[in-house]
Amino acid sequence: MNCNLPIEFNEGLKLLALLSRRMQEAGAAEPVVTGASAVEIHSNGAFPSADIEITVQDVPLCQAELARIGFQPDDPKSAKLRYWNDDLWIGIRISARVPFLGKAQSARQVSFETGCGPVRVISREDTIAALIAAFDANPRQQQDSLQQATGLYKGAGTLNRPYLDLRLRDETLGRSLAWFAGLTAQRAAVARRG
């Protein structure tokens, strides 16, 4: 559990730990926290997210288990697969397939302890790569993604730089860690002048 994360988010992560355990017991892969939720965890709450975003391999099992632990479909007709818990005031958004996770190494996922068991979270390096890919695809509309990636990069104690370089090259069609570090330095210099 992280004291810097909102109470609702921490409580949602505890229920996600229960969901993970139930899915494992059923023989399915555990959910993996991705997207803005991974950013929130890796930034210790500096970049909050509205929902807990997960990717799963067995969507029907995940939906059934979410219902068992008190989540209801936000809109059963929606393709977004968002489940809501009225008591905690938190949502869980399911993605059956996250494109960048295809090349991400599952061995790089981290375990985040919730106080009720662990949940799996994509690595900080994979989170940064996903944010930079979003920024690189649409720089004018994705300035927040660049800001979040920069915050995660600068706030990281230890990064696997060769792995981050590989992931950046995979996700951005060739952009390197040196390119990202230069972009980060350039933005910092502009901010100091500015």
CATH number of 7-122: 3.30.460
What is the C-alpha separation between 103 and 108, in angstroms, rounded? 11
Confidence of residue 102 (pLDDT cuts 50, 70, 90): low
- Tens of pLDDT along 145-189? 999 999 999 887 789 999 999 999 988 888 999 999 998 888 777
The 10s digit of each residue's pLDDT in 49-96 is 989 999 998 999 999 999 999 999 987 676 668 999 988 889 999 986
Residue 193 has what pLDDT? 76
Which letter, b or e, does each residue of 39-76 get, where b requires 16 or more Cβ atoms within 10 Å of its Cβ? bbbbbeeebebebbbbbbebeebbbebbeeeebeeeee
Mean pLDDT of 118-126: 94
Listed range (9-18, 43-52, 101-110, 128-137) with the worst mean pLDDT: 101-110
Question: Between 125 and 75, where is the model more confident?
Answer: 125
For residue 17, pLDDT beyond 90 = yes
Greater model confidence, 93 or 101: 93
Report pTM: 0.87
- DSSP strands (E only) in the chain: 32-33, 51-55, 72-73, 82-85, 90-95, 110-113, 118-121
Percent of the chain with pLDDT over 90: 57
CB contact burial 89-122 (16+ within 10 A = b; e otherwise): ebbbbbbeebebbeebeeeebbebebebebbbbb
Comparing 194 with 25, which gets the higher pLDDT?
25
